[in-house]
Amino acid sequence: MCGIVGYIGDKNSAPILINGLKRLEYRGYDSAGLGIIEEGTPRIVKAKGKVSVLENKVDSDGLHGEVGIGHTRWATHGIPNEINAHPHFSMSGKIMLVHNGIIENYSVLKEFLISKGYEFVSETDTEALVNLIDYYCKEECDLFEAVRKALLKVDGTYGIAVLSKDEPDKIVIAKNGSPLVIGLGEKENYIASDVNAIVEYTKRVIYLEDKEIGYITSNDYLIKTLDNHKLNKEVNEIDMDIDEITKSGYDHFMLKEIMEQPESLRNTMRGRTVLSEGIAKLGGLIGYEERLANSKRIIISACGTSWHAALVGEYLFENYAGIPVEVEYASEFRYRNPIIDKDDTVIFISQSGETADTLAALKEAKRKGALVLGIVNVVGSSIARASDAGVYIHAGPEIGVASTKAFTSQIMVLSLITLLLARMKNMSVVQGQEIIKAIEALPEKVEEILKHNELIKSVSAHFADAKNFLYLGRGIHFPVALEGALKLKEISYIHAEGYPAAEMKHGPIALIDENMPTVFIAPQDAVYEKVLGNIEEVKARDGKVLAIADENDTKIETLADYTLKIPRTHEMLMPILTVIPLQLMAYHIAVMKGLNVDQPRNLAKSVTVE
């Protein structure tokens, strides 16, 4: 995790770097720092806490200079404090460095450097790297070469930016396993962990690949492989507006992103269906449809919320396309020598496209010869680029740490892939058309639910003091139960568990009393009556029940303490609707508890470390 940013040009870099760090804060927010060359002198200002704390310090220090690097941290090695915050100086005070990633062999490097007389002040792995660069810079220093030599000795992941007192006209950068992008401007250039940090200054970017190293000056750049071959890389035009990464009047990004779902879903589905033929048309899968449809097995792998979307995908692919599916946590998949053959397709789902476990699992699946597809939000991200083919969800930037609109768009893409496959198999044109009509009508149904935000808020108030929650759902709604519980946990710090409703009797029922609310996801589907039975069982034990139910369901209201209604849609799309009240409930409870909704403790948006 962590976010890095750099600027070189003719303007004061400090406000540009602070602004960039604010946009990267979702990647880590326990401490932050800036390193700037000020009239030939390298200066570092750091602060524990959020970027706003750093900003105040930088303002009062009057830090000023046309070249600088910045960092917002999510601690791995060493507690969050000013000493461990980045940038780190080399012992000589000549070189400073910001780093996103983990130097795995840092203790060996540190021992070597100590034997050469280096002293360390922080507990970080990064300080070993900056001193190793310094070591290679001892005699006639060429910063680029010193960084390159040092990185050849490093095991681990890094996105780095390095500044030297002796070469203040360049920022040296390198990437392995952590994202890094160069932004090209007029008489100024930028580097950042992602384009959000620089999109208001430039839309022309170059994505670095692993084991690439380079530098930027104010009017030039160079990129080489770590083994020193010059590269001519493509310059990409990014299609992103600054409005997409601001709160646009909302109190929190999370609320904005929940409210954006009608639009994000329209963006996900736009141009991807053909009603007359009842089919889905997915440009990113052209040339791969037959191989996908003929897969002996589909494995879907992801982490967190994206893993919950994968569980919905399992249900859809098996039920409608008749293809066996397995869902795997990417973190497990990568280490357990999975049996995969060339007739398998492995789909990786990731909002950020940078999750370290998912990326590593993808590489493992590729190594074993499977067709590897990505369902990704961030265009140009590592997972998108490493996949053989895939489908972007086009949900737009998701900044709130709790994933919301990405989840519903992931399910939309999984539904479109299901339609594509099912129509290649047994689904009739009429059934295909029914699904397309339901897809087209969905954004308005989402709008309907969002109109009840105040009602959802008032219902949430009844549960804000609960210490534990149970979320129950069956079939396609079990993943929604998991997702509802995760949303509540991560931003409200309330313990919540998701279970298949029928499993309640096998253990969790022991927890139920008047203090333990249960949320039932209970639309009128094939197992509706059975879910009503489960509600009775909770009520019989004095449990409080909140039901997410169909708009016409009057029966459930007589059983549940509170009911939130949702419009009906095709069964395939129901999770997109049932999850929305749960997102809003988690949001409102967190706000009522006075918590930081967009930046919950201990978390970061993009988990780029193991």
- Positions marked catalytic: 2, 605
> Is 352 among the residues that bind ligand M6R (CB under 6 A)?
yes
Which residue from 382, 373, 381, 365 is spatially nearest to 284, judged by alpha carbons? Answer: 373
Among 245, 279, 371, 402, binds ligand M6R (CB under 6 A): 402
> Is 351 among the residues that bind ligand M6R (CB under 6 A)?
yes
Q: What is the DSSP letter of 318?
A: I
Piece of the chain touching ligand M6R by CB under 6 A; list 38-46, 395-403, 511-519, 557-565: 395-403
Which residues, at least 6 apart from 529, have a Cβ–Cβ distance to it below 8 Å?
Answer: none
Binding-site size for ligand M6R (CB under 6 A) equals: 16
Piece of the chain touching ligand M6R by CB under 6 A; list 82-90, 144-152, 397-405, 550-558: 397-405
Residue 583, phi then psi, degrees to nearest 5: -60, -45
Q: What is the DSSP letter of 606?
A: S
| 69 vs 591 by CB, closer to ligand M6R | 591
> Is 490 among the residues that bind ligand M6R (CB under 6 A)?
yes
Among 176, 403, 409, 415, binds ligand M6R (CB under 6 A): 403
> Is 159 among the residues that bind ligand M6R (CB under 6 A)?
no
List, as one string, the DSSP characters of 252-297.
Answer: -HHHHHHHTHHHHHHHHHTT-EETTTTEE--GGGTTTHHHHHT-SE
CB of 353 to ligand M6R, least distance (A): 7
CB of 590 to ligand M6R, least distance (A): 12
Which residue from 68, 165, 81, 166 is spatially nearest to 123, judged by alpha carbons? Answer: 81
> Is 518 among the residues that bind ligand M6R (CB under 6 A)?
no
Piece of the chain touching ligand M6R by CB under 6 A; list 54-62, 261-269, 401-409, 566-574: 401-409
| 47 vs 607 by CB, closer to ligand M6R | 607
List, as one string, the DSSP characters of 571-601.
Answer: GGGHHHHHHHHHHHHHHHHHHHTT--SSS-T
Q: SS3 letters for 184-239? A: ECCCCEEEECCHHHCCCCCCEEEECCCCEEEEECCCCEEEEECCCCECCCCCEECC
| 351 vs 460 by CB, closer to ligand M6R | 351
> Is 313 among the residues that bind ligand M6R (CB under 6 A)?
no
Piece of the chain touching ligand M6R by CB under 6 A; list 145-153, 192-200, 352-360, 533-541: 352-360
CB neighbours of residue 536 within 10 Å: 11
Which residue stretches of 317-396 are H helix? 330-333, 356-367, 382-386
Site string for ligand M6R, 267-306 (x = CB under 6 A): ------------------------------------xxxx
| 2 vs 560 by CB, closer to ligand M6R | 2
| Residues binding ligand M6R (CB under 6 A) | 303-306, 350-352, 355, 358, 401-403, 486, 490, 606-607
